[in-house]
A and B are shown apart, each in its own frame.
Chain A
Amino acid sequence: MAGGGESLGGGPKQKRGKSGKRKGKKRVGFRLDMTPLVDITFLLLTFFMLTTSMTTPQTMEMNVPPELDEPVEVRESELLMIRVRGDGKIFASMGNEDPEAPVNLKQLQQFVAAKNIDLENRCIVTLKSNGDAPYGLIVEVLDALNAAEPEIIQGLQRKGINERKRKFTVAPYTDEDKLKVEGK
């Protein structure tokens, strides 16, 4: 077998250290069989390679306002409602308007961006979700809201506003909300 370890040999012409004070028997072409070592190393390498998972999970940060004892008065026209129906249909509307047809995530993103730019940081995005809607969808909605942020910041800067205050909250899905999105 090819054992490697050539360099260990030190050919007969090569002199080691300070020329030959040592009188030990000179080992010519000394060779150590490295095969078992390499075998085990490869084994361990494959084990560690297969067990490591390189993808660390990501996170999406959420900030909700703390529960207050007194309700805060907000203008309905500054409230952007996102309602998610039990079957996964998304409805977006301003607080003083009734929701129309369901929107997809792309439309939602555009709607949120446009309203936020129009209202110049005063817009409060409220998410109301039916308990039956899948959680994966809610995260996709939140993802769309996050994706709208760069556009909003750009839009605000064009208006001369350099600060972005994001207002977001979750609210319970009431019977009233249920009626508003029914049959649409």
Chain B
Amino acid sequence: MSKIKKKRVGFVLDMTPLVDITFLLLTFFMFTAKFRSESENQQKFTIKRPQTTQDTAKLPDKDLVMIKVGIDTVSNDTAFYLSMVNEQDVAKLAEAMMALEYPGATERTALFKITDSTWLGKIVEQARMINPQAKFAVDADRRISYKWIDIAINEMRKKRATSFNFVTDKKGASM
């Protein structure tokens, strides 16, 4: 190409619309961002949720007692992990568990690792007393065997928590 290009001196591009849109998106993502709660910070496992086809209800984000059943990534054992979602309930539950002398409970504990059904029954009872409106949600790994869920259902049933939720993922969602 022998054509000599004219050199563009002081080429200026108006960046204002770009910056506008960028700020708009930034504010949107900042407001929608949800930060990890204390109990999630204390969690040392990931849960592969079971998948369902139907578009069922969404999980409430307050007044909730979460019973997670997960496989510990380090020790490879299955256990219940109970936590409450409301900020004030977390502190109350920790206090109640310290009063019951649960091994390893401190006022900073937000996620209680429980391995036997007796303690699960006790902590479910405490959670019911602290927040009677709270709903129960069972968030369990799809690979664990059903007996763990059976224990959890029975303990909740005994404490008159007969309506609860199973946390699932939509089929086809990336996990």
CA distance A142 to B54 in the complex (A): 11
Distance from A177 Cβ to chain B, minimum over Cβ atoms (Å): 13
- Contact assessment for A2 and B58 in the assembled complex, using a CB-CB cutoff below 8 Å: no
Task: Give chain B residues whose Cβ lies under 8 Å from the Cβ of A10.
Answer: none
Q: Mark B12-32, 1 if CB is under 8 A from A, else 0.
A: 111110110011011001101
Distance from B9 Cβ to chain A, minimum over Cβ atoms (Å): 13
Asked if B118 is at the interface of the complex by the 8 Å CB criterion, the answer is: no
- Contact assessment for A129 and B146 in the assembled complex, using a CB-CB cutoff below 8 Å: yes
CA distance A129 to B149 in the complex (A): 10
Which among A38, A49, A55, A146 is the interface contact of B19 at CB below 8 angstroms? A38
Asked if B102 is at the interface of the complex by the 8 Å CB criterion, the answer is: no
- Contact assessment for B149 and A138 in the assembled complex, using a CB-CB cutoff below 8 Å: yes
Q: Which of B93-101, B123-131, B163-171 contacts A (4 or more CB under 8 A)?
A: B163-171
Question: Given contacts A2-B15, A6-B14, are A59 and B167 in contact (CB under 8 A)?
Answer: yes
The main secondary structure of chain A at its interface with chain B is mixed
Asked if A163 is at the interface of the complex by the 8 Å CB criterion, the answer is: no
CA distance A139 to B51 in the complex (A): 8
Q: Mark B147-172, 1 if CB is under 8 A from A, else 0.
A: 11110010001101011111111100
- Contact assessment for A142 and B59 in the assembled complex, using a CB-CB cutoff below 8 Å: no
- Contact assessment for A4 and B16 in the assembled complex, using a CB-CB cutoff below 8 Å: yes
**Cβ-closest 5 pairs across A and B:** A136-B142, A131-B147, A4-B15, A48-B29, A139-B50
Which among B23, B53, B165 is the interface contact of A62 at CB below 8 angstroms? B165
In the complex, given contacts A38-B19, A62-B166, A172-B150, what are 6 additional A-B residue pairs having Cβ atoms less than 8 angstroms apart?
A64-B163, A84-B146, A131-B150, A138-B146, A146-B54, A170-B153
- Contact assessment for A45 and B26 in the assembled complex, using a CB-CB cutoff below 8 Å: yes
Which among A63, A132, A143, A146 is the interface contact of B146 at CB below 8 angstroms? A132
Task: Give chain B residues whose Cβ lies under 8 Å from the Cβ of A172.
Answer: 150
- Contact assessment for A58 and B11 in the assembled complex, using a CB-CB cutoff below 8 Å: no
Asked if B106 is at the interface of the complex by the 8 Å CB criterion, the answer is: no
Asked if A147 is at the interface of the complex by the 8 Å CB criterion, the answer is: yes
- Contact assessment for A57 and B167 in the assembled complex, using a CB-CB cutoff below 8 Å: yes
